[in-house]
Amino acid sequence: MRRGGIGDNALTAWEALREEARGCTRCHLYKCATQTIFGEGPVDAPLMFVGEQPGDQEDLAGRPFVGPAGQLWNQALGDAGIDRRQAYVTNAVKHFKFERRGKRRIHQKPDGPEIEACRWWIEQEQMILRPRIIVALGATAARSLFGRVVTITSMRERAHTLGDGGEAWVTVHPSFLLRVRDNKEEEYARFVKDLVQVRKRLE
């Protein structure tokens, strides 16, 4: 099957999937989140990025990667010469998981069963879009894509083949770059280098 191309029915299938995801009850996370944050971007995008899960701002805005991690990621994409508007952007888990502390909602990492429950959506997105390359941003995304626990260090800086024959790359999540204290600039440069490597695969 063709990759990075779109069949006549792909857009219709994707719209129907997005609609179905609005009512997702595959795990308990829908109960506290404001809404499902589905993927966005062109359905014929050659590049798909997978994050972990929407954060506080994404949960309210209804779009992936609009908060602080998204802003840093946008900057890194710009530095790598990748136009976000040309890519499809989604998350391994489609509802915000958090713990309430007073008025604040504190991000909680999704666990194995939650990632597993949400894998169905990502598999459908992959099947419909068939991008040439999928990039996992962080360990949760990589776990969802590969169907097993993987470490970033062991997977980074090389291409991997997914079960459906597609190509995947693994790099850190932009929130890691917000948190990291030592070698911040080096870590950012390494992240941009990973993105450049991916961009070059598409040239």
Residues that bind ligand URA (CB under 6 A): 51-55, 58, 64-65, 67, 69-70, 91
Question: Smallest gap, in angstroms, from Cβ of residue 68 to ligand URA?
Answer: 8
Q: Residue 69 or 117: which CB sits closer to ligand URA?
A: 69
The partner residues of 88 in beta bridges, in order of sequence, read 48
Q: Which residue is nearest to ligand URA (CB)?
A: 51
What letter represents residue 125's amino acid?
E
What angle, 0 to 180 degrees and rounded to 10, lies between the N-to-C axes of helices 184-201 and 68-80? 60
Cβ nearer to ligand URA, comparing 166 with 174: 174
Query: Phi and psi (nearest 5°) for 189?
Result: -60, -35
Q: Closer to ligand URA by CB, 39 or 131: give it.
A: 39
Nearest distance, CB of residue 111 and ligand URA, angstroms: 15
Q: Tokens 């929130």, residue?
A: 175
Least distance (Å) from ligand URA to the CB of residue 49? 9
For residues 65 and 74, what is the distance between their CA atoms, to the nearest angstrom?
A: 9
CB of 165 to ligand URA, least distance (A): 26
**What does DSSP say about strands 133-137 and 167-171: parallel, antiparallel, or unpaired?**
parallel
